[in-house]
């Protein structure tokens, strides 16, 4: 028996070794495909150099990496053979002439094509582009700059909040661009935009960095992560997804959109910074999606009036309106009325910058939050959760303009928050306050942003239990401005916000 077992053990060990070798081979191949070789050069650009007479060397370095993307969406349409059969009344009495439920319909298709650009970021066929260039498309073709090679591309992953997408084509030895460091950009740096505007062929335009950290209002596009580079280098339809490079030919942004009244270049274009796009790209390649951090607060930017009310030295930071129950913020001890000034060692200027910093953190990681509470500085540690889908539909509350009249509640009609009002507004069970039943449109309260249906919950940081309390607290206010906190429901979203009312002018 022993003589039989030993050879079997030897055979098994040999097979096991072979399996391990094969597994390691395939794992190495997979890892190589999943982790593309990307060139990165973060050397600061030389800003004291003399003006050059030609950017041809820079273009020769970067242009071969910029591709044209031709996307096609197939639209399926159904058209009736007999116009009478479009009317349900006639179908009820005459039936379907073909004997089938849809026999009176014939299907036809329409192909809608769009044009964009992309950038080769690795020799083995990974390409960066703008998500809106390929979103919802059925066919994607990539044309290499020499015009002789066209490849069918697949979408590795897409991230609508940053408008970044990663494509893959079956090719090797491609001319990959070198990535720069967008954090080192300064306003006034020379940049070149490379793409295929209007389908005329690869074109290069020159400009400068006009601004950094731009956020564009997108009221109908839901949740977004924005930190745009603004440039006056000409960007037109077809440039989307193309390259914005610095004076050394390094990729520092992905051209994504323009601000224009004519759908053409007017000198205001925007690009996603490459550092942000690189972070998104790595997560898309490794996991096919981007999981973002979440702390669970409703917030608003701090203006000069709020800074004065909260005894802040400057109108920087984010004012916490609400803390969602059971969220990382609540567990860490963040409270309504706190002003967040730093996140993970980086200054917080406004809600957009805080949202960007949180989104770059992995769920489950710890973050250090510095804030000001009642004039005192505090430091808390928050363990981030993963951003839930429903949170992407909630927008930051913008600070309303200050009013210019007298008396905070002048022109406001109020009542106690009774059972009928609670049912109608679907208020939380523990909500206390005074219900606003009417606001004079010419009053200071209306100018400050108070609305019918609001529930006043605090005045000058003191709780409001009912309408009488609200009136007394307002009459007792001695400062030039009154700080009012209200609860409000807007559609399916509810929460609190702060407004300030100027009591000094008529």
Q: Helix (H, G, I), strand (E, B), or coil: what is residue 468?
A: helix
| Selected catalytic residue, list 65, 68, 240, 403 | 240
- Strand ranges (E), 331-433: 339-343, 346-347, 366-373, 376-383, 385-386, 412-416
Kindly calculate the radius of gyration of the chain based on its CA atoms and give it in whole angstroms. Answer: 30
What is d(CA 120, CA 128) in angstroms, rounded to the nearest whole number?
Answer: 7
Phi, psi values for residue 356, rounded to 5°: -65, -45
What is d(CA 21, CA 16) in angstroms, rounded to the nearest whole number?
Answer: 9
State the burial class of residue 453 (Cβ atoms within 10 Å of its Cβ: 0-12, 13-18, 19+).
middle
The secondary element (H helix, E strand) that includes residue 301 is: strand 297-301
| Selected catalytic residue, list 68, 117, 132, 246 | 132
**Of the candidates 107, 82, 77, which has an alpha carbon nearest to the alpha carbon of residue 95?**
82
Q: Is 465 a catalytic residue?
A: no
Q: Is 159 a catalytic residue?
A: no
Those residues with Cβ within 8 angstroms of residue 500's Cβ, 6 or more apart along the chain or in another chain: 305, 306, 309, 402, 448, 481, 482, 483, 484
What is d(CA 289, CA 166) in angstroms, rounded to the nearest whole number?
Answer: 11
The secondary element (H helix, E strand) that includes residue 69 is: strand 66-80
| Selected catalytic residue, list 71, 114, 159, 163 | 163
Task: Kindly report the number of other CB atoms within 10 A of residue 487's CB atom.
Answer: 24
Q: Is 132 a catalytic residue?
A: yes
Alpha helices in 127-225 (DSSP H): 131-134
Catalytic residues: 132, 163, 240
């Amino acid at each position: 028996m022993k003589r039989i077992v030993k050879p079997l053990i030897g055979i098994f060990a040999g097979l096991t070794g072979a399996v391990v070798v094969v597994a390691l081979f395939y794992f190495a191949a997979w890892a190589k495909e999943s982790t593309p070789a990307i060139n990165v050069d973060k050397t600061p650009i030389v800003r004291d150099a003399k003006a050059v007479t030609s950017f041809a060397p820079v273009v020769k370095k970067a242009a071969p990496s910029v591709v044209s993307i031709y996307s096609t969406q197939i639209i399926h349409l159904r058209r009736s053979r007999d116009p009478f059969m479009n009317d349900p009344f006639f179908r009820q009495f005459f039936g379907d002439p073909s004997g089938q439920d849809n026999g009176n319909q014939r299907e036809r298709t329409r192909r809608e094509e769009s044009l964009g650009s992309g950038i080769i970021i690795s020799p083995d066929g990974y390409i960066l582009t703008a998500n809106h260039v390929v979103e919802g498309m059925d066919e994607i073709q990539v044309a290499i700059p020499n015009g002789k090679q066209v490849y069918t591309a697949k979408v590795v992953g897409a991230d609508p909040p940053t408008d970044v997408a990663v494509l893959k084509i079956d090719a090797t030895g491609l001319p990959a661009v070198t990535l720069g460091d967008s954090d080192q950009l300064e306003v006034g740096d020379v940049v070149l935009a490379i793409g295929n505007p209007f389908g005329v062929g690869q074109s290069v335009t020159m400009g400068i960095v006009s601004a950094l950290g731009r956020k564009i209002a997108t009221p109908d596009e839901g949740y977004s992560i924005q930190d745009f580079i603004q440039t006056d280098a000409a960007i037109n339809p077809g440039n989307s997804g193309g390259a914005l490079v610095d004076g050394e030919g390094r990729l520092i942004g992905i051209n994504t959109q323009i601000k224009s009244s004519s759908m053409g270049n007017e000198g205001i274009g925007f690009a996603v910074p490459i550092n942000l796009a690189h972070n998104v790209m790595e997560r898309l390649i490794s996991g096919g999606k981007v999981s973002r951090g979440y702390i669970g607060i409703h917030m608003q930017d701090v203006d000069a009036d709020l800074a004065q009310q909260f005894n802040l030295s400057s109108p920087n930071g984010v004012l916490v309106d609400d803390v969602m129950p059971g969220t990382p913020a609540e567990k860490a001890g963040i409270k309504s009325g706190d002003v967040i000034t730093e996140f993970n060692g980086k200054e917080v200027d406004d809600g957009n910058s805080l949202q960007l910093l949180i989104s770059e953190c992995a769920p489950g990681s710890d973050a250090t939050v510095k804030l000001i509470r009642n004039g005192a500085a505090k430091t808390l540690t928050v363990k981030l959760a993963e951003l839930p889908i429903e949170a992407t539909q909630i927008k930051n509350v913008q600070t309303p303009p200050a009013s210019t009249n007298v008396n905070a509640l002048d022109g406001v009609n109020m009542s106690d928050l009774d059972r009928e009002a609670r049912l109608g507004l679907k208020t939380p069970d523990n909500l206390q306050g005074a219900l606003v039943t009417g606001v004079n449109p010419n009053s200071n309260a209306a100018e400050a942003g108070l609305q019918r249906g609001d529930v006043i919950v605090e005045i000058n940081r003191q709780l409001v239990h009912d309408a009488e309390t609200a009136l007394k607290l307002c009459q007792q206010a001695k400062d030039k401005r009154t700080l009012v906190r209200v609860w409000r429901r807007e559609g399916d979203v509810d929460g609190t916000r702060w407004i300030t009312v100027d009591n000094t002018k008529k």
